[in-house]
Amino acid sequence: EKTNLTTLFAAEHGIRGNAQAGDNVGNEVDEVTGVPVHSLYGSTKKPTPEMLENVDILAYDMQDVGARFYTYINTLAYAMEACAENDKTFVVFDRPNPIGGEVQGNLLNTNFSSFVGMYPIVQRYGMTVGEYAKFINEEFNINCKLEVVEMEGWTRDMYYDETGLNTWVMPSPNMPTLTTSIVYTGTCVFEGTNVSEGRGTTRPFELIGAPWIDPMDLSNELNSLGLPGVKFRAASFTPTFSKYSASDTANYPTGKNQICGGVQVYVTDRNDFNAVKTGYAMLYTIR
- In this structure, the answer to whether residues 142 and 270 fall within a common structural domain is no
- In this structure, the answer to whether residues 200 and 282 fall within a common structural domain is yes
Tell me the C-alpha distance between 60 and 38, whole Å. Answer: 14
- In this structure, the answer to whether residues 109 and 201 fall within a common structural domain is no
Radius of gyration of the chain (CA): 20
pLDDT tens per residue across span 118-151: 999 999 999 999 999 999 999 999 999 999 999 9
Parent domain of 262: 178-286
pLDDT tens per residue across span 63-116: 999 999 999 999 999 999 999 999 999 999 999 999 999 999 999 999 999 999
pLDDT tens per residue across span 205-249: 999 999 999 999 999 999 999 999 999 999 999 999 999 999 888
**Domain count along the chain:** 2
- In this structure, the answer to whether residues 131 and 6 fall within a common structural domain is yes
pLDDT tens per residue across span 3-38: 899 999 999 998 988 888 877 888 999 999 999 999
CATH of the domain at 117: 3.40.50.12170
- In this structure, the answer to whether residues 139 and 200 fall within a common structural domain is no
**pLDDT at position 64:** 96
- In this structure, the answer to whether residues 131 and 231 fall within a common structural domain is no
Tell me the C-alpha to C-alpha distance, in Å, between residue 147 and each of 116, 121, 129: 25, 22, 12
- In this structure, the answer to whether residues 204 and 162 fall within a common structural domain is no
Last residue of a domain, one of 121, 147, 169: 169
Last residue of a domain, one of 169, 195, 212: 169
CB 100 within 8 A of CB 128: no
- In this structure, the answer to whether residues 109 and 202 fall within a common structural domain is no
Instruction: State the pTM of this model.
Output: 0.93
